[in-house]
Structure 1
Amino acid sequence: MHYEGTIIRPPSEAMSIILQVTVGCSYNKCTFCGAFKDKPFRVKTEAEIDDDLRFAAQHCRCQNRVFLADGDALFLPKRRLSALFARIRSFLPWVKKISLYGNARSIRSKTAADLATLKDQGLDRIYMGLESGCDAVLERVRKGETAATMIKAARRVNDSGLFLSVTTILGLGGIELSEVHARQSAAVLNRMAPRQVAALTLMPLPNTLIGRQHQSGLFRLPDQLGILRELQTLVAGLELSRSMFHANHASNYLPIEGVLRKDKRKILTAIEFALAGQTPLVPDNMRAL
């Protein structure tokens, strides 16, 4: 496979064929994300993609899922995505499901009918970054969205029947907005009604604005207990009857996961034990993005 730069994928796509169809991120202005700062955005040519599909056809016959990288493959027009899915079926007929990242802007560029058509052609899951349900935090980190615009995007995915996974980032509000960030993120997630909620923990990177603000003292990241309290507030506020919750990303201090309908109390108890010092946390030198 021919990859340009660092490839980012969700933890749940670890066993998928990673097919890079775009390079970088179509937006790439968020102050916290350093994944694509060194990669000008472009769409790979059909010839480049077909080369990788031929490689996968020969070497990836045990993997039945495809994840489309990089940061926002849903940026592609519906017509081109449909053609791409047809080529995936042709080269990899054993593949059952296709997943991708989609930012709220790209989701809203498609109708629910468009997304439903893509679902019929093999698209199974869209990973979307909410990051925060607090508009003040979203503005500070230059997300280019509001809670309302991301709720609209989420509902479009839900209307299409696709599986929606939404990510939020613990610590993104800093110490100043820590509590409101967690509380409003839970409230917005309830309105988005994703099938999966994933919580990551902010790790300020030196190639990002928020990393430089953290280094200079302009941005103060909550400590371990502050992050755990955010996690506690977030989970306590979630009222999602059919959603999974994951905080098992390598950036997190306390790896936890479960189905909210039946495991919410167990998750909260695990957080309470950690806050009381009864559960060891992942040391900083073992955390990663």
Structure 2
Amino acid sequence: MSASLPLADAECTDLSDIVDTERYPLHDPDHPRMRELVASCRAHLAGNGSAVLHGFLRPAALAQARAEGVALAGKTYFSSRKVNAYFTADDPSLPEADPRRVFMDRTSGFVTRDVIPADAIIHRIYVAQAMKRFVATCLGEERVWEYADPYAGLVQNVMPPGTEQPWHYDTNEFIVSMMTQQPDAGGDFEYCPNIRSPQGENYGGVGAVVRGETREPINVITLQPGDLQLFKGRFSLHRVTQVKGAIDRHTAIFAYSQKPGVIGRLERTRQLYGRVSEMHLEAEQRLVRADNLVD
């Protein structure tokens, strides 16, 4: 009988077979290297809202993750529509220059968690206790939780040549992502650190960016396959530029929350994934927002 493949396991404290634990010893929180790593991530997150861990995966695991991503791409839900940075409907009562009235092409696609196998590299990473412990420590949280959302907790973003993600915010305060396949050209990650805050939307500054009037607040990151990124996307406007060449851009997105039971917004779920579940319908009825920011 052949050995069974490792499956996603929320009790897993050691990902040494897939993560380069010589560089990133997630299994040993007290390791000197780990303390240095956490301090560095915290400093970068505090300074500009983003921390990148290069070469997070071992080469063989990265090759496997890439192959799995290519296979999963056939299950992608693609949509093409005009959206604003807040995923809200047009409001003709607002001035035309208001960023809520600036609509951009969104042409990327997603593979949702419910169709990602439990033995996939990205699924094993997402649920592992070692990973959640590391993310929480970097963010200064006592603990983080997986999304309860059946679709959005773990997704693979698939961007074929010609597609792009326009300027937007995340509904969660932070997101963790890992590129598994890099395109020939384009597909850069651009963001404006802390362009808004819980105290205000800064529509003037945001409007200048989404209308293309300034690039002054924009940071650019060209990620490589196997890079892990921690990013505070609730307050930092961000986008992925148009993918060019002949190769898709594949990125795993690991969504964690500061509280258990998080379910994505109904309309945003419908737009991104083309369907909703009973959990989304029920959650929308109970929704109470923790801040007054527009999604």
Normalising by structure 2, we get a TM-score of 0.24
More helix by share: 1
**Which structure exhibits the higher relative contact order, with contacts defined as CA atoms closer than 8 Å and separated by 6 or more residues?**
2
